[in-house]
Structure 1
Amino acid sequence: MKEYLVELTTTVPDRTEPAEVDRRRAAESVRAKELATQGRLFRLWRPAGELRSVGVWRAEDETDLREKVLGSLPLWPWMTAVITLLESHPNDPGRTN
């Protein structure tokens, strides 16, 4: 599997009921745990004071990432994504090959 750096920004549409936002956020938490268990979500951070996330995700290719992985997130319809394919750096201290 390939690794991708993904920056996700969520914008809740105007006039969305707070209960709908809460429902989706709760479902998002459950789905993120499932994706982590599957090895698809490797790491996830939130920049301090911001409403976006930055993470390392794993997928076969970008189509797989967008359609099967990120597309399965309950908040995905409200998200924009910046996706960058990563490759190993020769000086990476965690490099295994």
Structure 2
Amino acid sequence: MEFLVTMTTRVPDGVTDAEVAGVRAREAAHSAELAEQGSLKRLWRPPLAPGEWRTLGLFEADDAAALETVLASMPLRIWRTDEVTELSPHPNDPGTAS
């Protein structure tokens, strides 16, 4: 199954730039691992307002519970909320045409 996930990160007051950089570095490394495993298919950055931190991700998982396991494994989850939309195939999807 595919899922579109809107990931919104809000770093709490008092967190140092060094702490943020460390978590972001771990997030980047883990995202590469998830992509290699086939769980993370794509990432996009939508238009953002100043100071806003939001990412759209296309994930693949067996079901919603498996997706939650993947999302919970991501380092930025400590500061992030996720909005999950389960996707179903569209009959006119050009990506599935043969």
TM-score where L is the length of structure 1:
0.91
Alignment of 1:59-78 (within 5 A): 59-67=61-69, 69-78=70-79
Which sits farther off after the overlay, 70-79 or 42-51? 42-51
Q: Distance in 2 between matches of 1:8 and 1:53?
A: 5
Q: Deviations over 1:33-64 (max 9, x none)?
A: 00001110001100133520111101111111
Identity %: 48
Q: Distance in 2 between matches of 1:21 and 1:28?
A: 10
The answer for the alignment partner of 1:9 in structure 2 is 8
Helix, strand or coil at the partner of 1:25: helix
Helix, strand or coil at the partner of 1:34: helix
Q: CA RMSD in A?
A: 1.4
Q: Distance in 2 between matches of 1:36 and 1:10?
A: 20
Q: How many residues align?
A: 95
Q: Which runs of no fewer than 5 residues in structure 2 stay unpaired?
A: none
Helix, strand or coil at the partner of 1:42: strand
Q: Distance in 2 between matches of 1:48 and 1:81?
A: 17
The answer for the alignment partner of 2:30 in structure 1 is 31
Q: Which runs of no fewer than 5 residues in structure 1 stay unpaired?
A: none
Q: Distance in 2 between matches of 1:96 and 1:21?
A: 43
Instruction: List, as ranges, runs of 4+ consecutive aligned residues in structure 1 with deviation greater than 6 Å.
Output: none
